[in-house]
Structure 1
Amino acid sequence: MFTDIDFANPEFFWLLLLLPLAVLWYFLKRKDQNASLKISSVGGFAKQGLLPKLKPLLFFFRLLALAAIIVAMARPQTEDISTRTKTTKGIDIVMAIDVSSSMLARDLKPNRLSALKKVAANFIKKRPNDRIGLVAYAGEGYTKTPITSDKSLVLNALREITYGQLSDGTAIGMGLATSVNRLKESKAISKIIILLTDGVNNMGFIEPQTAADLAVEFGIKTYTIGLGSNGNALTPVAYNADGSFRYGLRQVEIDEKLLEDIAKATGGKYFRATNNSKLEEIYDEINKLERTEIEEFKYYKYEEKFRPWIFLAGALLLLEWLLRHTLFRSFI
């Protein structure tokens, strides 16, 4: 009966406590409601039928009417809520991904690049209100996808990123500078670069510090991630005769000081990911640090449901009045 029903004034339900008191009063005063006559014998009177025993129904109808009135006073109503959201602070994000041969190292499973692509895809899916672009870099850098709100386009481009599309090497400055170039004309209130690498800067004609200065000039915050386990990692060291990679243990070298300096200068933060779970935690933390402000508008439509209870109370009182002045008239 009360499914999906709310009450605007539920405090009136306290009045229901009067009903047990009314029942008690009725049974205590029932005998006093009729006139009494003392006689020596009632033998000459005909035996009463069933009708006088139904007289308490009149009080029962009044009681139900009172309960219905109390429910009506509590104002039962249904609520229809429609919601509209508005993005009040958009964020433009460029993810700069190292695609050098060392990203095929197997200290993350199945390798660094595949692990990164999986985590980055989840990050993109969690940013429905932001524009995202992709930059890939190795010995040089290029824009894989300009900043766009089309997440399916970005996800498809992310899946297409592989080793071998660029000359080998690690041009951190080029990757960062290309990302800045993608964001410098952005009108977004907040502009973010997430730069990931697993090595040291050894290629490119733009120094990382110069690229960091450009990021500062255009108000672009940069989060840097050093990817790779501590110690040695199984990394491509040469080619086999069939063209496949030959793997060998190689010392993991990450220029953490450089990555820390870039992050600090631009107002970002440096992270170190030594395994798959740590990489996921880093992207989750960045996702929490850079939240898009959403303004939500809710529209409420109420439909009052008290009228049927008023009609029920009126019908019960009318029935009680009719019975009192017709069927039960001779007994009152």
Structure 2
Amino acid sequence: MLENIEFANPQFFWLFSLLPVAVLWYFFKRRKETASLKIASIKGFSTDSLLPKLKPLLFILRLLALAAIIVALARPQTEDISTKTKTTKGIDIVMAIDVSSSMLARDLKPNRLASLKKVAADFIKKRPNDRIGLVVYAGESYTKTPITSDKGIVLNALKEITYGSLEDGTAIGMGLATSVNRLKESKALSKVIILLTDGINNSGFIEPQTAAELAVEYDIKTYTIGLGTNGNALSPIAINSDGSFRYGMKPVEIDEGLLEQIAKTTGGAYFRATNNESLASIYDEINKLEKTEIEEFKYTRFEERYRPWIFLAGILLLVEWLLRNTLFRSFI
């Protein structure tokens, strides 16, 4: 009966401290009111009746009624809270993902591309109030998913990203320019590109610096991530006759100077990920840097629950009055 109940006036529970006093008073008064009679023998009297022994029941009923009234005075009530959120500053994000053959290198487990997809999926799930799009690039680039608020579509498209959909190479400028093209007409108050690569710009007909200047023109911030361990990594070096890759150790070459320049020009930041843990921490850091402002409205509805206690007290007092004036009448 008291589950999920709160009390508006809990100070009335102090009245319960009076109940033990009432019990002591009752037994003291009963002892004083009970007359004593001394006789030689009680053979002529019947002592089988239970009514005299049950007479304290009247006091117990009245005491329970008083307890119920105290609970009612404390105003038990249930609280129903509903919330409504309003996004006051939305962010549109495009994630530009390198899908060149070097992304199959195994310095991250199980490889760079698979590790990225897992971390990127976690990042997307943490941005429920933003629109997100996907751009993939290698020797050229294309839009995998336009910016959308439907995270299910974005996550499914992310799962589908594989090596081989584009000519091999690393066209950083093309990947960045395609991302800018997806965001340039966005009405969001904040526009962000997260560009990840594990190599150097060696393809495409748009220079990365030119794409960065386009991003500045449309007020688009770019975070760049260089992916790959320091030194050498187990990477694809040839294709076997059955179409599978042959792996060998290759030096990791990332144009960090270019990535730093792009980030600085557009007001973003450059990060280097050398393992699975550092890649995850980078996306967590970006998630903290790019906060969506949310306004939350709370609506609270209270439902009073004191009426059943008043009803219970009334029932107990009625039963006590009926017993007093019927069954126990000859004893009062």
Sort the TM-score into its range (normalised by shorter chain). Answer: 0.7 to 0.9
Distance 1:109 1:311 in 2: 68
Q: Over aligned residue pairs, what C-alpha RMSD do you find?
A: 2.6
Structure 1 residue 203, shift from structure 2 partner: 2.8
Structure 1 residue 225, shift from structure 2 partner: 0.8
Relative distance call for 1:66 and 1:218 in structure 2 (3 A) is same
Please state whether the residue corresponding to 1:319 is helix, strand or coil: helix
Structure 1 residue 190, shift from structure 2 partner: 1.7
Equivalence for 1:27: 27
Equivalence for 1:16: 16
Equivalence for 1:206: 206
Equivalence for 2:262: 262
Structure 1 residue 313, shift from structure 2 partner: 1.3
Structure 1 residue 186, shift from structure 2 partner: 0.5
Equivalence for 1:311: 311
Structure 1 residue 71, shift from structure 2 partner: 1.0
Superposed CA deviations along residues 69-88 of structure 1, whole A, max 9, x for unmatched, are: 01111222233344433333
Relative distance call for 1:311 and 1:42 in structure 2 (3 A) is farther
Segment of structure 1 superposing worse, 69-78 or 275-284? 275-284
Superposed CA deviations along residues 18-48 of structure 1, whole A, max 9, x for unmatched, are: 11121122223323346x58x7758799566
Distance 1:104 1:315 in 2: 78
Segment of structure 1 superposing worse, 195-204 or 115-124? 115-124
What is the 5 A alignment of 1:1-332?
1-33=1-33, 49-332=49-332
Structure 1 residue 272, shift from structure 2 partner: 1.4
User: Percent identity among equivalent residues?
Assistant: 78
Structure 1 residue 222, shift from structure 2 partner: 1.4
Structure 1 residue 13, shift from structure 2 partner: 1.8
Distance 1:180 1:130 in 2: 17
Segment of structure 1 superposing worse, 113-122 or 58-67? 113-122
Structure 1 residue 261, shift from structure 2 partner: 2.7
Superposed CA deviations along residues 215-252 of structure 1, whole A, max 9, x for unmatched, are: 22322221111100111012223344455433322111
Relative distance call for 1:160 and 1:318 in structure 2 (3 A) is closer
Distance 1:194 1:202 in 2: 20
Give ranges in structure 1 of 5+ residues lacking alignment: none
Segment of structure 1 superposing worse, 135-144 or 223-232? 135-144
Structure 1 residue 206, shift from structure 2 partner: 2.8
Structure 1 residue 307, shift from structure 2 partner: 1.3
Segment of structure 1 superposing worse, 256-265 or 192-201? 256-265
Distance 2:241 2:323 in 1: 107
Please state whether the residue corresponding to 1:59 is helix, strand or coil: helix
Relative distance call for 1:30 and 1:265 in structure 2 (3 A) is farther
Please state whether the residue corresponding to 1:230 is helix, strand or coil: coil
Relative distance call for 1:171 and 1:26 in structure 2 (3 A) is same
Relative distance call for 1:71 and 1:217 in structure 2 (3 A) is same
Distance 1:252 1:171 in 2: 17
Distance 1:94 1:171 in 2: 17
Relative distance call for 1:21 and 1:201 in structure 2 (3 A) is same
Distance 2:302 2:268 in 1: 47
Structure 1 residue 134, shift from structure 2 partner: 1.1
Relative distance call for 1:115 and 1:42 in structure 2 (3 A) is same
Distance 2:206 2:154 in 1: 26
Give the TM-score taking structure 1 as reference length: 0.88
Give ranges in structure 2 of 5+ residues lacking alignment: none
Please state whether the residue corresponding to 2:93 is helix, strand or coil: strand
Distance 2:32 2:202 in 1: 107
Please state whether the residue corresponding to 1:219 is helix, strand or coil: coil
